[in-house]
């Protein structure tokens, strides 16, 4: 099982998209320069399979627009002839904000046009049961807090990406359900557009975690991979051919709300038998309070309860070990279904709860590979990546940068 994140210069997918013909060549050139960090015109042409003359003409236009620059230092030494001139994006050409609204702690980052973080911020708020006005007030506070250290005002931000848990239609900004909101079926995207002075792009938070892996992490050199998170809920993001897969209505891949037990435990979404109802924080705490016969008069936060449960499991308490063991088996079943349906090159497990290693112990995850072993194919590579809360906000910023790049290309 892999546990290392490989960071290289640049940001964005390193593989050329198989469907790149759908994008204008100018956008392909811009994205190639961003992904490489620095690259010569000839290498851009070679990577994209186009003529050097076409790239030269496009780069001239991008430089005139203040989006791309030449660097004075040669990209590499050459024995003869003129050394190739390196290109890079103009970092200050655009700035975006990425926000994630999760678990009562909101995080935000400001990134430049290259995707590098130039400021970050976090604020704590009550989790769940909010109306739209309250949520907009909290987001305004977060935006002000993250812009201050960046030395920017709102007029200098070209886009905001926002991630939150729940069933979200990315194209319309319509939230069918989220544990953050009091009501179902909320036109949250429209409310955000009315509140903020720039385009706002809304998506499921785990989709944006997958996008962070695609832009900055383990997925940069992969065309197809999946990310499964285990935290306050269970989520999944899927990258197919360098793009987020969302389904026909933008709310696909809700693995946490797939049924693993008919008429089973109650899930916070209102259904019974969801995977999340056996694996997520609140599920483990619910089991622990009963199985370990805790005194109900002693107040414990969910985090405190989880720590006690984990410590007791490590100490050999059979009831505690059974709780983690059952949760791990349900998780293994869910992951096995992901592998059988989508056959990803890599399956990344992420989230704060991965420190509870009972959930992904080798003997538990062996069931996940059973089908592959039975048909004689190689096992899907599994990686664990727990690289901090800000990565979710970086994925939201990548969403805003991607949308801004589309908008630039649409303007010609």
Q: Mind listing the pLDDT tens digit for each residue in 265-288? A: 888 888 899 998 988 888 888 888
CATH no. for 221-385: 3.30.420.40
Domain positions in the chain: 20-92, 94-212+390-410, 221-385
pLDDT in tens, 109-137: 999 999 999 999 999 998 888 999 999 99
74, 109, 393 from 211: Cα distances, Å = 32, 15, 10
What is 20-92's CATH number, 3.40.50.300, 3.40.50.2300, 1.10.260.40, 1.10.10.10? Answer: 1.10.10.10
d(CA 68, CA 64): 8
Which overall architecture, per CATH, does domain 94-212+390-410 show? 2-Layer Sandwich (3.30)
**Can you give the pLDDT at residue 5?**
42
Q: What is the pLDDT of residue 77?
A: 56
Q: Distance between CA 293 and CA 81 in Å, rounded?
A: 79
Q: Which two three-digit tokens encode residue 210?
A: 């997958």
Alpha-carbon distance of 215 to 45, in angstroms, equals: 21
pLDDT the model gives residue 299: 76
E-strand stretches of 231-344: 234-240, 243-244
Out of 30-39, 89-98, 263-272, least confident range: 263-272
Whether residue 201 contacts residue 403, with contact meaning beta carbons closer than 8 Å, is answered with yes
Quote the pTM value.
Answer: 0.87
Domains 20-92 and 94-212+390-410 share a fold: no
Rg (CA), the chain: 23
In tens, the pLDDT along 210-229 reads 999 999 999 999 999 999 98
- The arithmetic mean of pLDDT across residues 245-256, rounded, is 79
Least confident of 21-25, 49-53, 390-394: 21-25
Percent helix, strand, coil in the chain (nearest 5)? 45, 20, 35
Contact 278, 329 (CB under 8 A): no
Can you give the pLDDT at residue 7? 40
User: 296: exposed, middle or buried (C-beta count within 10 Å: 0-12, 13-18, 19+)?
Assistant: exposed
Confidence of residue 407 (pLDDT cuts 50, 70, 90): very high
Q: Are 110 and 96 in contact (CB under 8 A)?
A: yes
- Tens-digit pLDDT profile for residues 145-178: 999 999 999 999 999 999 998 889 999 999 999 9
Using CA atoms, how far residue 318 sits from 288, 309, 321, in Å, is 12, 11, 5
Question: What is the DSSP annotation of 194-224?
Answer: HHSSS-EEEEEHHHHHHHHHHHHSTTTT-SE
β-pairing, 224-230 with 234-240? Answer: antiparallel
Tell me how far apart the alpha carbons of residues 68 and 30 are, in angstroms, rounded to a whole number: 8
Residue 107: its pLDDT value, please? 96
Q: In this predicted model, what pLDDT tens digit does every residue of 71-87 receive, in sequence order?
A: 876 555 555 556 778 99
Q: Greatest CA separation found in the chain? A: 80
**What is the spatial distance between Cα 335 and Cα 341, in angstroms, rounded to a whole number?**
10
pLDDT for 293-330, tens place per residue? 777 777 777 778 888 888 888 888 888 888 888 888 88
Quote the pLDDT of residue 6.
Answer: 40
- The whole-number pLDDT of residue 310 equals 84
Mean pLDDT taken over the chain:
87
31 pLDDT higher than 50: yes
| Better-scored residue on pLDDT, 196 or 230 | 196
The string of DSSP codes covering 80-112 is SSPPPPEEEE-GGG-EEEEEEEETTEEEEEEEE
Q: The dihedral of CA 103, 354, 226, 401: what is its sign?
A: positive
Structure confidence at residue 22 as a pLDDT band (50, 70, 90): confident
pLDDT per residue as tens digits for the range 352-388: 666 666 666 677 677 778 777 777 778 888 888 876 7
What local confidence, expressed as pLDDT, does residue 357 receive? 67
């Amino acid at each position: 099982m892999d546990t290392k994140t490989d960071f290289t210069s640049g940001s964005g997918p390193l593989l050329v998209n198989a469907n790149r013909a759908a994008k204008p060549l100018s956008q392909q050139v811009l994205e190639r320069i961003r992904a490489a960090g620095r690259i010569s015109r000839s290498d851009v042409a070679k990577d994209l399979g186009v003529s050097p003359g076409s790239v030269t003409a496009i780069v001239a236009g991008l430089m005139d627009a203040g989006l791309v620059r030449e660097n004075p230092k040669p990209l590499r030494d050459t024995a003869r002839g003129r050394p190739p001139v390196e290109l890079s994006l103009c970092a200050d050409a655009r700035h975006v904000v990425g926000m994630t609204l999760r678990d009562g702690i909101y995080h935000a980052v400001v990134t430049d046009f290259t995707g590098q973080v130039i400021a970050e911020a976090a604020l704590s708020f009550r989790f769940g049961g909010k109306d739209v006005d309250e949520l907009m007030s909290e987001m305004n506070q977060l935006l002000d807090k993250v812009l201050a250290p960046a030395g920017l005002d709102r007029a200098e931000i070209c886009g905001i990406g926002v991630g939150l848990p729940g069933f979200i239609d990315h194209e319309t900004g319509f939230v069918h359900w989220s544990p953050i909101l009091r009501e179902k079926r909320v036109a949250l995207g429209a409310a955000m557009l009315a509140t903020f002075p720039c385009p706002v792009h809304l998506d499921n938070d785990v989709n944006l975690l997958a996008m962070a892996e695609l832009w900055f992490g383990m997925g940069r050199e992969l065309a197809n991979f999946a990310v499964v998170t285990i935290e306050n809920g269970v989520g999944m993001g899927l990258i197919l051919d360098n793009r987020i897969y969302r389904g026909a209505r933008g709310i696909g891949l809700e693995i946490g709300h797939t049924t693993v037990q008919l008429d089973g435990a109650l899930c916070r979404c209102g259904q019974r038998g969801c995977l999340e109802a056996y694996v997520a924080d609140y599920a483990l705490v619910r089991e622990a309070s009963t199985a370990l016969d805790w005194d109900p008069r002693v107040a414990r936060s969910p985090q405190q309860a989880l720590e006690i449960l984990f410590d007791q499991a490590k100490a050999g308490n059979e009831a505690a070990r059974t709780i983690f063991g059952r949760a791990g088996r349900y998780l293994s079943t869910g992951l096995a279904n992901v592998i059988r349906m989508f056959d990803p090159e890599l399956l990344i497990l992420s989230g704060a709860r991965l420190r509870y290693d009972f959930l992904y112990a080798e003997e538990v995850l062996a069931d996940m590979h059973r089908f592959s072993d039975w048909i004689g194919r190689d096992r899907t590579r599994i990686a664990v990546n727990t690289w901090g809360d800000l990565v979710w906000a970086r994925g939201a910023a990548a969403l805003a940068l991607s949308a801004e790049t589309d908008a630039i290309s649409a303007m010609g």
